[in-house]
Amino acid sequence: MAVFKYIRLAVFMALLAVGLLSLTVQAQAPSVTVLEVKGAINPVLADFIKNGIEESAEKGDAVCIIRMDTPGGLDTAMRDIVQSITNARVPVVVYVAPSGARAASAGVFITMSAHVAAMAPNTAIGAAHPVAVGGEEIDETMEEKVVNDAAAYIRSIAESRGRNADWAEQAVRESVSITEAEALEMNVIDLTASTLDDLLSQLNGRTVTLIDGSTVTLNTAGAVVNETEMNWIQDFLYAISDPTIAYILLSIGSLGIMAEIFNPGLIFPGIIGAISLLLAFYSLGTLPVNWTGVLLIILAFGLFIAEFFTSGFGLLFGGGLVALIIGSLILFQGGAPVFQIDWWAIFAVIIIVAAFVAFAAFKVAGTHRRQASTGREDLIGKKAVVRQALGPEGTVFYKGELWSAVSESGTISPGEEVIITGVDGLTLTVIKKEKE
């Protein structure tokens, strides 16, 4: 029995030692933060990357990896991301992945700015020519200035990282694109990696220089990977920053306000409309919007509301429909494809709004044509019975009440029916009812 007791104690001590050793190894293992970037580059995404890099530096990560798949985005947001990478206190790796991903337009600048640039197989990079956004027309001179500025900017970034500055400038001026194999051969990127583990393996031992001039040797062997995604608030703000979503929110908000004006006291449509409008204006503030289009859409709904309260014979409705269609088409006109409204959304919104306004206008017109059911107007056209002969003055009986009355049809005998044609104070004007 004593032998078994010592064996159990030995096993326990061995397990305890293994556990302590594993905790020590885990504590000493380097950590890596991976920021997932998929979609258009906008201010919400720029804030997410900035915060992610700062938190990675505070945690003492060996490296911060931005795994990216983007069709491009806003110039201002792209420059904010480049500044965050350039001024980072932790080495930043931009990894264009997974297979099938791309780093287009603004993505080229971001990839070029990384301390280490990597791409997965079957990926592409390029097409960084600036695109006029917001629907504005720019002359040839202004376009040349914009292109020259972008070309100088990306050339400066590429040279600072020791990459192919000539190709980078060509990507801006001529919108050229290349595969990951071509990018590696042309010194546009530093390496290709099929998986994240492969990337970490190739990063281990590489040396990079931070903004303060310090040299850092990457230690990513056996690193603990922390995948970081947007929280639910960032996800929500990023989702509504989509042009189609912004357009739908603007339409829902306007419809809700219209419904509340058409039928005051419903409350719910007004609340939904107000919230949707506020979210729409937030979204539009993050997008390259053509404000002429916004004003045309607002004008359209103003004309629709005016149709409810005036006899416009459909002219206000028609004008509003034209303004809505034109405003929808130019809301993001001239921008990159990533900042265009889906055609199905425009078609659906126009059909729904037109149907709602037509229905509401029809109901309002019916209400205007309907005879009043309360007040003195309710008496007009109703039948009464003569109680005291009208010659022409007398009394009539209507709904349990006696009224003074004046006949417009001469003398009318008691018991005969009359039609009320007018009301003057407490005196009714009547005419004799013709016999059928």
Any idea what DSSP says for residue 430? E
Of 22, 59, 99, 145, which is the active-site residue? 145
CA angle 288, 290, 291 (to 5 degrees): 120
Closest-CA residue to 41 (of 111, 90, 119) = 111
Query: E strands, 50-108, where?
Result: 63-69, 92-96, 102-104
Q: What is the C-alpha separation between 66 and 95, in angstroms, rounded?
A: 6
Report the SS3 class of residue 393: strand
Element (H, E) at 385: strand 383-388
- Dihedral sign for Cα 149, 155, 161, 164, please: positive
Question: Residue 243 corresponds to which tokens in the numbers above?
Answer: 């042009």
Question: Residue 305 corresponds to which tokens in the numbers above?
Answer: 């509301």
Answer yes or no: are the C-beta atoms of 45 and 73 closer than 8 Å: yes
Look up 435 and say whether it is catalytic: no
Question: Residue 400 corresponds to which tokens in the numbers above?
Answer: 């349990």
Answer yes or no: are the C-beta atoms of 356 and 255 closer than 8 Å: yes
Of 56, 105, 251, 407, which is the active-site residue? 105
Q: What is the C-alpha separation between 130 and 337, in angstroms, rounded?
A: 12
Any idea what DSSP says for residue 412? B
Look up 241 and say whether it is catalytic: no
Closest-CA residue to 229 (of 400, 49, 102, 403) = 49
Give catalytic residues, as residue numbers: 105, 145
